[in-house]
Amino acid sequence: MATEETLVLVKPDGVARGLTGAILARIEAKGYALVDIKLVEPSRELLAQHYAEHEGKPFYEPLLEFMMSGPVVAIRVAGNRVIEGFRSLAGTTDPTTAAPGTIRGDFGRDWGVAVQQNLVHGSDSPESAARELGIWFA
Ligand code: RTP
Ligand code: MG
């Protein structure tokens, strides 16, 4: 099977809380390879492309504002079944109910705001990964 690639983002809450190293350590400990990494201050245009599937939803505007609230770390990660594997490492969207042992379950907290500040993003399919890597690592 060909090695897969995925896009991981450490969102502004993860960078601001100093959790980038802990998140990278989990990715490396799992055996995935860091292929490329950079600190980005994403524009509204970049985020509108990235989150196109959520346009029109109630959390869309607050989500873009949150993602522009500070720097983001973008990482190209490679490994067998890494798309599914990183989603599993990250845990489910809501940090309150994400399983302990996952990034969101261990480090995520509910800030009582409109958008889930859940530390990380991971592509959810091979199609999303190709599209998102093209946006962040053009
Ligand atoms: P991601 O795309 O960031 O890896 O997360 P995901 O697949 O688990 O979640 P998704 O449904 O794609 O939503 C994208 C991001 O939008 C924020 N969100 N907030 N207020 C809410 O209930 C809500 N729903 C989604 C989260 O930051 C989520 O990760
Ligand atoms: Mg998603």
Q: Is the pLDDT of residue 111 over 80?
A: yes
* Domain boundaries 4-136, corresponding CATH code: 3.30.70.141
DSSP at 83: H
Residue nearest ligand 1's atom 27 by CA: 116
Pocket test for ligand 1, best of 93, 97, 119, 133 (most atoms within 8 A of CB): 93
| 127 φ/ψ angles, rounded to the nearest 5 degrees | -65, -45
> What's the mean per-residue pLDDT of the chain?
97
- Is 121 a catalytic site residue? yes
> What is the ipTM, given to two decimal places?
0.92
Ligand 1: list residues with CB < 6 Å: 59, 63, 93, 114-116, 118, 121-122, 124
Q: Annotate 53-80 with DSSP letters as a single string.
A: GGTTSTTHHHHHHHHTSS-EEEEEEEET
Tokens, residue 18: 């100093």
Whether 101 contacts 55, CB under 8 Å = no
Q: Which of 121, 122, 132, 133 is catalytic?
A: 121
Domain boundaries, the chain: 4-136
Q: Is the pLDDT of residue 114 over 70?
A: yes
Q: Which long-range contacts (CB under 8 A, 24 or more apart) does 103-108 make?
A: 103/23, 103/26, 107/14, 107/17, 107/19, 107/22
Spatial CA neighbour of 87 closest among 72, 97, 98: 98
Give the list of residues 6+ apart from residue 2 with CB closer than 8 angstroms, or none: none
Query: Residue 44 — pLDDT band, cuts 50, 70, 90?
Result: very high
Question: Does residue 20 have a known ligand-binding role?
Answer: no
Distance 63 CA to ligand 1 centre (A): 8
What is the pLDDT, as a whole number, of residue 1?
58
